[in-house]
Amino acid sequence: MFKNCLENVRNTVPLVHNITNYVTVNDVANVILACGGSPIMSDEAEDVEDITSVCGGLNINIGTLHKTSIEAMFRAGRRANELAHPILLDPVGAGASALRTKTALSLMTELKLSAVRGNISEVKTLARGSGTTKGVDADVADAVTEESLDDSVAFVKEFAQKARCIIAVTGAIDLVSDGKLCYVIRNGRPEMGKITGTGCQLSGIMAAYLTANPSAQLEAAAAAVCMMGLAGEIGWSRMQEGDGNSTYRNRIIDAVCNMTGEELEKGAKYELR
Amino acid sequence: MFKNCLENVRNTVPLVHNITNYVTVNDVANVILACGGSPIMSDEAEDVEDITSVCGGLNINIGTLHKTSIEAMFRAGRRANELAHPILLDPVGAGASALRTKTALSLMTELKLSAVRGNISEVKTLARGSGTTKGVDADVADAVTEESLDDSVAFVKEFAQKARCIIAVTGAIDLVSDGKLCYVIRNGRPEMGKITGTGCQLSGIMAAYLTANPSAQLEAAAAAVCMMGLAGEIGWSRMQEGDGNSTYRNRIIDAVCNMTGEELEKGAKYELR
Amino acid sequence: MFKNCLENVRNTVPLVHNITNYVTVNDVANVILACGGSPIMSDEAEDVEDITSVCGGLNINIGTLHKTSIEAMFRAGRRANELAHPILLDPVGAGASALRTKTALSLMTELKLSAVRGNISEVKTLARGSGTTKGVDADVADAVTEESLDDSVAFVKEFAQKARCIIAVTGAIDLVSDGKLCYVIRNGRPEMGKITGTGCQLSGIMAAYLTANPSAQLEAAAAAVCMMGLAGEIGWSRMQEGDGNSTYRNRIIDAVCNMTGEELEKGAKYELR
């Protein structure tokens, strides 16, 4: 039950080590706190092994890669693997540059990941081993729609099997699969795309959920997706005349902060395939 | 017409590559989304050429220079020039340190810029080729006032001719010139100076406008200045008792998000000299 | 009087150089503006001496250390010492990694600091010269409580004497001592811990207060702690149904922005020991 997943986060306050981009890092920290976790950020290679060791999970986001932070990602990842901590990879902009694509693929090869969360274009790039995406947003041609849903579910399942980790593709319809089952999730609002970093925020939440729910990883990942989408719906319902994307950002994090297990259970819109 | 400039941004969703400071980067991303563009951030030298290639314009902001990001600025800039993308330079703190002054001057020399946007002290530093400024805010002695307006307009026109690009000096009165004409703009609120990064945000908006309006660069730059100033006025009108600079920041971005072409056209306060 | 300390900040607009983490840097900049100061950020070793020279005080925060920024901290610190500028150290995560502990200790040894502000676990690590903390939050076992208050006051006084600077330990009860006197402060709200960076923000405010009040350093440090705590109380009183930690963050900075000397004087809850 998603309710349990949420409550496990709030009760255990998982400490999540984030190596993430400097664009959305503050929102990632606040949303991890909002969902019940505790964030710590460190991307200096000489610092990350110690930091990962005091944490319970690792969130790697390649949104603003630096050569020095790449080394930090591998060192933190290897240490997290030794400690059997869950690792989530958010391959921001994979396909938009050779460095991003190469780094994301190497992280998938050299580390044992628990989950990869990205938009459909980023995930297709990783599945193909190469590719192009238009910036950090998903290409319209790739979008998961009701029409392409069967194919998309099959694709995500297959890639999850091949990658041996949970694959979460988020967009208008979200897909979360461990290779066997696939959650098809219809929470969220299109206006969330007008805020920078809602994807990064979801990755932070998901890392906290994975850390707090070791025996229910797929369900935890899906619950995180539903929480973020539902928060987008609740936040939107509180918008007043004159409010725009900056206020919406605050209201979404506020909604995560106030969400109870019952509300998540009731508001989650998904089917299992 | 400013209305067209705004609508060209909303209709074409220009992708803007930002190499910017980590202080205000989140606000820059959100305000570019708010005005209708799409931001992507990358400042790793090995990443920037690919990223600039998938974008339509480049916004270079030296607010927190690093030796590595300086290299990225030049590499991205050269690639943007090859692709004939507009480049905007925001010389944050030029005059406050030798590194900032030297870097800004080198960027102006080695790259073909479309526009430079800064406060009067920063722009005077660039025009003189050296100088001192008090931190990141304009020196009071330099301020563009009604009394000094004729001289200031002449200075900005002359520097725009010499620099062969649009010069935008923003403050209580804003001046935007391509060397022939000069927009004198009186939108905005003094309280905007109590928020970090309203200048950086304007540079982000201006880069989006320049990218979406290739055949009307001066008008696009002036429209961006009016949009930011008008958003400052609208945001201020929505302030309630107990609100301060943090809420004001949100309300300004919200106002950018909701502004229509008609509102911009009607609210813009400028004269042409 | 705390009223004077606040008004000295608003009247002199102290320019504060911040070498700080990229997680909370935007909030630090906005809260320094809110309290009446003017922030500038620079952490490139080749830039910091010039920047510190145009400022009046220096705020060093090790929340996201990089090897390059460590060098910048020492270079800026030495220059600030030459100029007799106050330096505040915020040892974020000292005890959580060897690099953080070692860097904080070296900064304390090689620079003449005016103040160190951290949570009890971080400060105990520095006092012992080594130690472990659980991430960036204080360990519950270390907490300053009514029961442990006498011992905690004695500890802080002793460490302040040994370190020859003001020691500010913040948490449910805050202690600020110069080795002779100790302010015991009971402002604030527990919900402030659900926002990232309220400690970093306080350090920014404190650096501004120290800079603007050269002849009343202990009182200035205590006034800053009371201001932040009182802002947390005022911000909380403005929370509405559905608001969460993101809105709370804005309301706290807003409250700093609007606070008068009289309000601070009246709302400050402290005793001197």
Q: How far A74 CA sits from the closest chain C CA (Å)?
A: 16
Q: What's the average model confidence in pLDDT over B130-147? A: 74
Give dist(CA B100, CA B82) in Å, integer: 25
pLDDT at C139 over 80: no
Q: What's the average model confidence in pLDDT over C199-223? A: 98
What percent of chain C has a predicted confidence (pLDDT) above 70? Answer: 97
Q: How far C246 CA sits from the closest chain A CA (Å)?
A: 5
Query: Does C249 touch chain B if contact means CB atoms closer than 8 Å?
Result: yes
DSSP designation for C97: B
Query: Does B251 touch chain A if contact means CB atoms closer than 8 Å?
Result: yes
In the prediction, which pLDDT does B135 show?
63
pLDDT at C194 over 80: yes
Give dist(CA B246, CA C254) in Å, integer: 6
Among all residues of chain A, which has the CA nearest to that of B46? A99
Q: Count of B–C CB contacts within 8 Å?
A: 103
Mutation for testing the B interface, residue in A25, A196, A239, A250 having most B CBs under 10 Å: A196
The pLDDT tens digits of the residues spanning C43-62 come to 999 999 999 999 999 999 99
Which of B22, B46, B51 faces A96 most closely, judged by CB atoms? Answer: B51
Q: Are A21 and A61 in contact (CB under 8 A)?
A: yes
Q: How far C257 CA sits from the closest chain A CA (Å)?
A: 19
Q: Do A244 and B258 touch (CB under 8 A)?
A: yes
Letter for the amino acid at A126? L
Assigned token pair, A60: 């790697």
Q: Do B250 and C251 touch (CB under 8 A)?
A: no
In the prediction, which pLDDT does B139 show?
72
Give dist(CA A65, CA A59) in Å, integer: 14
Mutation for testing the A interface, residue in B9, B22, B25, B251 having most A CBs under 10 Å: B25
In the prediction, which pLDDT does B132 show?
60
Q: What's the average model confidence in pLDDT over C257-261? A: 98
pLDDT at B108 over 90: yes
Give dist(CA A232, CA A217) in Å, integer: 23
Q: Do A46 and C99 touch (CB under 8 A)?
A: yes
What percent of chain B has a predicted confidence (pLDDT) above 90? Answer: 94
Q: Do B196 and C254 touch (CB under 8 A)?
A: no
Which of A29, A34, A47 faces C244 most closely, judged by CB atoms? Answer: A34
Q: What's the average model confidence in pLDDT over A252-263? A: 98
pLDDT band at C143 (very low <50, low <70, confident <90, very high): confident
Query: Does A250 touch chain C if contact means CB atoms closer than 8 Å?
Result: yes
pLDDT band at C142 (very low <50, low <70, confident <90, very high): confident
Among all residues of chain A, which has the CA nearest to that of C246? A250
Q: Which of residues 56-95 of C touch A (CB under 8 A)?
A: 63-67, 93
Query: Does A238 touch chain C if contact means CB atoms closer than 8 Å?
Result: yes
Q: What's the average model confidence in pLDDT over A67-86? A: 97
ipTM > 0.90, yes or no = yes
Choose among A16, A166, A14, A165: nearest CA to A76.
A16
Q: What's the average model confidence in pLDDT over C5-19? A: 98
pLDDT band at A138 (very low <50, low <70, confident <90, very high): confident
Q: Do B41 and A26 touch (CB under 8 A)?
A: no
Query: Does A235 touch chain B if contact means CB atoms closer than 8 Å?
Result: no
Choose among C179, C187, C190, C180: nearest CA to C205.
C187
Q: How far A196 CA sits from the closest chain C CA (Å)?
A: 15
pLDDT band at A133 (very low <50, low <70, confident <90, very high): low
Q: Which residues of B touch A243 (CB under 8 A)?
A: 254
Among all residues of chain B, which has the CA nearest to that of A240? B254
The pLDDT tens digits of the residues spanning C63-86 come to 999 999 999 999 999 999 999 999
The beta-strand segments (E) located in B33-158 are 38-41, 57-61, 87-90, 115-118
Q: Are C99 and A46 in contact (CB under 8 A)?
A: yes
Among all residues of chain C, which has the CA nearest to that of A26? C23
Which of A33, A46, A238 faces C67 most closely, judged by CB atoms? Answer: A46
Which of A96, A196, A243 faces B29 most closely, judged by CB atoms? Answer: A196
Q: Which residues of C touch A50 (CB under 8 A)?
A: 96-99
pLDDT at A260 over 70: yes
Q: What's the average model confidence in pLDDT over A176-199? A: 98
Q: Do A242 and B254 touch (CB under 8 A)?
A: yes
Mutation for testing the A interface, residue in C64, C73, C133, C246 having most A CBs under 10 Å: C246
The pLDDT tens digits of the residues spanning B153-170 come to 999 999 999 999 999 999
Mean pLDDT of chain B: 96
In the sheet that holds B174-177, the strands lie side by side as B38-41, B15-19, B57-61, B87-90, B115-118, B166-169, B174-177, B182-185, B270-272
Mean pLDDT of chain A: 96
The pLDDT tens digits of the residues spanning A151-171 come to 999 999 999 999 999 999 999
Q: Do C135 and A55 touch (CB under 8 A)?
A: yes
Among all residues of chain B, which has the CA nearest to that of C252? B246
pLDDT at C136 over 80: no
pLDDT at A131 over 70: no
Q: Are B84 and B110 in contact (CB under 8 A)?
A: no
Which of B38, B68, B254 faces A243 most closely, judged by CB atoms? Answer: B254
What percent of chain A has a predicted confidence (pLDDT) above 70? Answer: 97
Q: What's the average model confidence in pLDDT over A113-122? A: 97
Q: How far A61 CA sits from the closest chain C CA (Å)?
A: 14
The pLDDT tens digits of the residues spanning B218-263 come to 999 999 999 999 999 999 999 999 999 999 999 999 999 999 999 9
In the sheet that holds A15-19, the strands lie side by side as A38-41, A15-19, A57-61, A87-90, A115-118, A166-169, A174-177, A182-185, A270-272
DSSP per position, C28-67: HHHHHHHHT-EEEE---HHHHHHHHHHSSEEEEE-TT--H
* Furthest C-alpha separation in chain A: 51
pLDDT at B138 over 90: no
Which ranges of B111-148 would DSSP assign to H, the alpha helix?
A: 120-128
In the prediction, which pLDDT does A139 show?
72
In the prediction, which pLDDT does B131 show?
61
In the prediction, which pLDDT does C124 show?
96
Mutation for testing the A interface, residue in B254, B256, B260, B263 having most A CBs under 10 Å: B254
Mean pLDDT of chain C: 96
Q: Do B39 and A245 touch (CB under 8 A)?
A: no
Query: Does B145 touch chain C if contact means CB atoms closer than 8 Å?
Result: no
pLDDT band at B141 (very low <50, low <70, confident <90, very high): confident
